Amino acid sequence: MGLEQRKLYTPHTPEVEQHTPKKQQHVVRRVKRRFSKGENILFALSAAFTIFLSSMLLQTHSDLNAVNKEVQLLNSEIDETTKQNTELSIQVSDKSTYERIWKKAQENGLNLNKNNVKVVPGR
């Protein structure tokens, strides 16, 4: 028990500290990096290149969709024009019949003279 008390009781005697100038050493700590500067630059360049290519791909896809839309609009216009042309050709064939032409000629006062008729080869 005496030893335990001695350990617990330690009289504090003030010691006089002498101020000695300590040389401050510059401690250079090496930071361990996962990747070197060159690898970081390569990663950044590859990321930028990937972003650039993906944006170019999206732009090309957008342009392609716009062109496809224009093609579809032009095809619908062509189909509509073809339909109108077909209807007009039907009207032309209806209005160019012999009976209709003869009727219009009689309305305008023309007479048929068989001696004056020349047959022209048709189309």
For residues 4-31, give the mean pLDDT. Answer: 64
Residue 48 within any structural domain of the chain: yes
Q: Is 111 helix (H, G, I), strand (E, B) or coil?
A: coil
Confidence of residue 14 (pLDDT cuts 50, 70, 90): low
**Is 17:9 a contact under the CB 8 Å cutoff?**
no
Residue 56 within any structural domain of the chain: yes
Confidence check: pLDDT of 15 > 70:
no
Residue 61 within any structural domain of the chain: yes
Residue 84 within any structural domain of the chain: yes
pLDDT, position 74? 98
Residue 76 belongs to what domain range? 42-108
Q: Is 21 helix (H, G, I), strand (E, B) or coil?
A: coil
pLDDT above 70 covers a percentage of the chain that reads: 80
Residue 57 within any structural domain of the chain: yes
Residue 27 within any structural domain of the chain: no
For residues 28-50, give the mean pLDDT. Answer: 90
Least confidently predicted of 47-51, 68-72, 74-78, 92-96: 92-96
- Using alpha carbons only, what angle is made at residue 63 by residues 57 and 66, rounded to the nearest 5 degrees? 145
Residue 54 within any structural domain of the chain: yes
Q: In the chain, helix, strand, coil percent, each to 5?
A: 65, 0, 35
For residues 37-64, give the mean pLDDT. Answer: 97
Distance separating alpha carbons of residues 20 and 26, to the nearest angstrom: 18
The candidate with the shortest Cα–Cα distance to 112, out of 11, 76, 121, 103, is: 103
pLDDT, position 17? 58
Residue 103 within any structural domain of the chain: yes
**Is 43:35 a contact under the CB 8 Å cutoff?**
yes
Number of domains forming the structure of the chain:
1
Confidence of residue 60 (pLDDT cuts 50, 70, 90): very high
